[in-house]
Structure 1
Amino acid sequence: MALIEFENVSKHYGDTIVLENLSLTIEDNEFLAVVGPSGAGKTTLLRMLLSQEAPSSGRILIDGAPIAPEPMPDRGVVFQRYSVLPHRTVIGNVMTGPEWQAAPFTGRLFGKARQLLKARAQDMLDRVGLGGHAALYPAQLSGGQQQRLAIAQALMMNPKVLLLDEPFGALDPGTRRAMHKLVLELWSEHQMTVVMITHDLSEAFHLGTRVIAVDKRRHDPHAPHRYGSIITSDFDAKPRLARQLARAAG
């Protein structure tokens, strides 16, 4: 379960207000897409959910408890630029997170524990379509394959929340469609709560069960930094998504 609550959250940097008194409840297993213009605070919102940034005021709760002050395995993240380790093989990349979690001093498992983890990593690679690429290095993969690898990395930690920061923006249209299908399937299988940042409105409505727009509603031409973004629109996209999942299943 992963119920996320923003309670009157604001974020500012010095005199510049980025987000202003934002209140939002993200239900368990919701797929929330966040849209808005550049500079509206979308990535700041995501960074606060990841605990890379702390709210200037207000608080964020996960399942009723204050969010941990640092990134934790319960929140996985996939960025637009592929967050993979170039010096490790594909399967090594997927094993890295669980290895460090299980063996924080050495970052490596041995014997049966390593064999079991390697088998689980291979299963995950099979699931994201990289089963035959386990021995390759990231530089030998295409952009879409590297993004599949980044998703596999995140899912290996069994996160309750998956955060996607414009993960498909650099992909060609065909690869993007394939990635959309994969993400919807994995979201359905793993029953995660997903929060995705995107500039693409059609992508937001294609993937999300809910779409919110963030933007500045108030502007002061003499002090453009004075007001922050708020939620300006909130759409229920579940009926459309249900039709898409039904077509995919058929």
Structure 2
Amino acid sequence: MIEVRNVWKKYGDQVVLERLNLSIAEGEFCSMVGASGCGKSTFLRLLLGQEKATRGEILLDGKPLPAEPDEHRGVVFQRYSVFEHLSVVRNVLLGLELPQAKFTGRLFGARRRAALDEAVAMLERVGLGAALDKYPRQLSGGMQQRLAIAQALVMKPRVLLLDEPFGALDPGIRRDMHELLLGLWRESNLTIFMVTHDLKEGFTLGSRVLVFDKVRVDPQAPGAYGARITYNIPLDHTRDSASSLHVAQAAVQGALRADVIPV
């Protein structure tokens, strides 16, 4: 579904990413881990269309990825990306109204009722069916992140991009959000890319773990070389594979703690 071919990303003279090559099938859940500043979120923005590769290309179904965000790619950030002045149901309804009512921004009659039913059904799926008329300031952090996920999924994207979506949540709430996300992923054919600093979270949720690391360094020019995908690990979450998962996680953890390889 997604092909990444020799992608580089530079900001001025600083190389952030280099030589990324990747092939992802539809329906995979890719956890992206690595040290802070190694380019994980930059790669996520390339997938979203917020950024353009300096060199190389990203293909979706064999065609160049659209240069701007579109309805095929949903995104959820660590900070709750919701509209504070709109109620919970209006936050989700807005995404359905704007593409269909470009001039007024509102639907009317049967079309509005159909869109409202769809928004309510999505909110019920994420556990917010009893909070339709509340405003984001009245919700807990976990509930606001559920709302952000509902905003993204109601547009029926093919690709869901998550940038540390659970980093600000308490451990108990994070577990609930993990169960919610896995449930929604299994029900659909979503392809998910999730940036996380939590290695355990990455291995627990993902069907594939992508490890970003800077494999070479020039002390005289610290920005000369960018990060690559140094590990690309498909995961099997069955009981028989539990020990191999533990071994893979330990290997990646050791690699991330190790010094980078000098030029």
Give the TM-score range, shorter chain: over 0.9
What SS does the aligned partner of 1:132 have? coil
Equivalent residue, structure 1, for 2:157? 159
CA drift at 1:238: 2.4
Please say if residues 35 and 204 of structure 1, whose CA atoms lie closer than 8 Å, have aligned partners that are also in contact: yes
The amino acid across from 2:22 in the alignment is L
Contact 1:100 1:107 in 2 (8 A): yes
After superposition, the C-alpha distances for 1:163-199 in whole angstroms (9 at most, x for unaligned) are: 0000000000000000000000001112100000000
SS of the residue aligned with 2:70?
Answer: coil
1:1-250 to 2 correspondence within 5 Å? 3-240=1-238
Q: Secondary structure at the match of 2:75?
A: strand
Q: Deviations over 1:95-140 (max 9, x none)?
A: 1111111112221111110011101111111110000000000000
Contact in 2 for aligned 1:209/1:241 (Cα 8 Å): no
Q: Give me the whole-angstrom Cα distance separating, in 1, the residues matched to 2:179 and 2:239.
A: 12
Percent identity, aligned pairs only, is: 56
Which deviates the most, 5-14 or 101-110? 101-110
Letter aligned with residue 123 of structure 2: L
CA distance in 1, matches of 2:94, 2:83: 9
- Give unmatched runs, 5+ long, in structure 2: 243-263
Question: Once the two structures are superposed, what CA deviation does each residue of 1:54-94 show, in whole Å capped at 9, x if it has no partner?
Answer: 00010001111100010000000000000000000000000
Gaps spanning 5+ residues in structure 1: where?
245-250
Name the TM-score, length of structure 2 as normaliser. Answer: 0.90
- Counterpart amino acid of 2:200? S
**2: CA distance, partners of 1:36 / 1:21:** 16
Distance in 2 separating the partners of 1:218 and 1:104: 49
Q: How many residues align?
A: 242
Partner amino acid, structure 2, of 1:122: V
Distance 1:241 1:137 in 2: 42
Whole-Å Cα distance in 2 between the matches of residues 241 and 185 of structure 1?
19
> Equivalent residue of 1:186, what SS?
helix
173-182 or 95-104, larger mean C-alpha shift: 95-104
The answer on whether the counterparts of 1:207 and 1:241 sit within 8 Å (CA) in structure 2 is no
Using the TM superposition, give the Cα deviation of residue 239 of structure 1 relative to its aligned residue in structure 2, in angstroms: 3.0
Matches of 2:93 and 2:12 in 1, distance apart? 40
TM-score, normalised with respect to structure 1: 0.95
Offset of residue 241 of structure 1: 8.9
CA distance in 1, matches of 2:88, 2:166: 20
Distance in structure 1 (CA, Å) of the matches to 2:83 and 2:239: 34
Moved more, 151-160 or 100-109: 100-109
